[in-house]
Chain A
């Protein structure tokens, strides 16, 4: 793994991913593989329902043809949202290709505007001087960017984020994510660990070498066929680059205004049937580079650029102008005149969270799936499967596995839960809590109660305390006697759902300061007003239960919440309970 020598956990996942791919798909990744059989065309065209018709290069097509990326066809981009929005059945593959297209378009837009800065950066980074060499290096960077876009989501498993929340709890991935965060100098999750490791897997490099040997050389004019740097591709996936002057490439893949967002906002809303739009033409017309300071107080970037061997990257010491040491970096940003695009992006995102991602039925389906996958992991552990074997299950799984589990009678309660999800026999909300539900002294108690639930360090423990109390209460009732509190909850389909708050764009960070001065976004962009409205009225902690146990579950939830929160008022509970039962 070379530049990961000091990151044993990350290297460990990398070695595992490489071994798994070789073992699972020998026709593609084993050392003696004879694929690809036929000569490769230098380019092909692919049609997309959102972005139209685009060219893909032989290298991208070779990666696209592997089971790694093909698997994404069978993973829905927005999990189980199709249970509410029937047409929201688009796949991770469509999104992946869309991100590639948008990343490429952003790159082209930047080149049209900042050709000389990019050329000067390339000269420093690669130590090249002739025009031809510089041109080739720019083509190389574009190709690396496009491959990074293609690989950025290969770490996803069945139903996207719901499964990531489960396999992300595997110790091997948690430790690797810690190391990746140290390595990149910013927080990274389990899915990114897998995508990062795939990009670095030697078997993928070998696959591309074999593909290159099969490239049909006629018609390669205009198609880049020089080398690519897989380490840079891996860095781009986690929003970094080998050199601070090329940081804008990492920003295109992972930042507040990245290609990923441009694609998912439009694709998710279009597929769901929601008429949400932002001005993509204005975005591409306006997007620009700013030379900015990237602070490095703890030396994370110094270490990173040490690993990548970034020549000419100077870590400047803290001085009168900066409290911390820093690197100068080219960053992706939008100018003041494109503020309305940023507003549109934030509104689209809020609407998607409100209508789709946090829809009560979508949360019910995904919560049930998470619990089912958690039980599956326990079952695998009890069958003496180690964490690597469990990770392999997730690396191979697609949405089709849910349906298979729903038919497998040997799986017991896992099968029952899968059957419920597949057939949309979902729990209902019985209690819905948000900050706007209380006034007076109750408001303070509710704020404290919700604060305990949402405390990242202690919240899961507190949620468990509440769930345990509900389970104990339930055991006293007919039909639940003799069950453990966990089994009583499982039978009634009860859990407390605490969705993660949507993270809104950092307007301070993405708006250019070059012409408009510091903090110009403040005061002119009412995102915080919208956010306050959203969070007060559309973001809930919910308690779910199956319909047939709704009345008993609601009584248990209210009685236990009274004890834990200190809120006594009956009017308050009338306000927060859902009345369908």
Chain B
């Protein structure tokens, strides 16, 4: 663990909203397609994170992230809300004709350095890289 300043996020204190923000910025950079209309893959990805208890840098909020077991896949309402929030805020857009995938808003992409939460934890950075790899396999 690194020492972090008050404005920096670490695996212990990062929120779901901040984590997803970091992920989508990274996905965009790595050209990982982000599903929109069918959220199932997002939920499966996050449920996999939740069950990887001993992965270094794994964000602590995952311990408390609740999944509903009421259908064909585990669904975290908070994650759905979070994805919608990024959409509502204009962070992400769904300009493609079929609304299948999300893409980062152009203005946000050009100013990504201003809006990216600052990470103060090397293990969290590693976990983000691992998450991108995992999503890359699952989302494609």
Contacts and interface: CB of A to CB of B under 8 A. Distances in A.
A454 B38 contact: no
The size class of the interface chain A forms with chain B is 35 or more
B15 A451 contact: no
A438 B112 CA distance: 16
Interface stretch (A73-81, A83-91, A180-188): A180-188
Interface stretch (B26-34, B65-73, B119-127, B128-136): B65-73
Count class of interface residues, chain B:
35 or more
A455 B89 contact: no
B66 A444 contact: no
Interface in B95-134: 98-100, 105, 107-108, 110-112, 114-115
B81 interface: yes
A529 B99 contact: yes
B115 A445 contact: yes
A376 to B, nearest CB: 29
Given A301-B69, A445-B115, A451-B89, A508 B98 contact: no
A214 interface: no
A451 B92 CA distance: 11
A532 interface: yes
Given A186-B69, A295-B69, A295-B73, A528 B115 contact: no
Interface string B41-82: 000100100000000000001000011111111100110111
A296 B69 CA distance: 6
Contacts of B38: 508, 519, 522
Contact of A295 (B71, B89, B114): B71
A445 B111 contact: yes
A108 to B, nearest CB: 25
A239 B70 contact: yes
B99 A454 contact: no
A536 interface: yes
B67 to A, nearest CB: 7
Contact of A443 (B44, B94, B99, B105): B105
B126 to A, nearest CB: 22
B43 to A, nearest CB: 10
B37 A446 contact: no
Interface centre among A292, A436, A528, by most chain B C-beta atoms within 10 angstroms, is A528
Contacts of B80: 503
A457 B94 CA distance: 25
B68 A186 contact: yes
Contacts of B112: 444
A448 interface: yes
Contacts of B44: 323
B99 A186 contact: no
A519 B72 CA distance: 12
A324 interface: yes
Interface in A448-475: 448, 450-451, 454-459
B84 A501 contact: yes
A440 B111 CA distance: 9
A455 B9 CA distance: 14
A447 B90 contact: yes
A295 B72 contact: yes
B17 A456 contact: yes
B72 A456 contact: no
B107 to A, nearest CB: 4
A294 B71 contact: yes
A501 B77 contact: no
Interface in A536-569: 536, 539, 566
Contact of B89 (A187, A300, A450, A532): A450
B88 A539 contact: yes
Contacts of A52: none
A297 B47 contact: yes
B23 interface: no
A439 B82 contact: no
Contacts of B36: 528
Given A295-B69, A445-B114, A447-B115, 20 more contacts: A185-B68, A185-B69, A185-B70, A294-B70, A297-B67, A301-B69, A323-B44, A443-B108, A446-B90, A450-B85, A451-B86, A454-B17, A456-B15, A457-B61, A508-B38, A528-B36, A528-B94, A532-B93, A532-B94, A535-B88
Interface of A: 181, 185-187, 239, 292-298, 300-301, 323-324, 331, 435-436, 438-441, 443-448, 450-451, 454-459, 501, 503, 506, 508-509, 519, 522-523, 526, 528-529, 532, 535-536, 539, 566
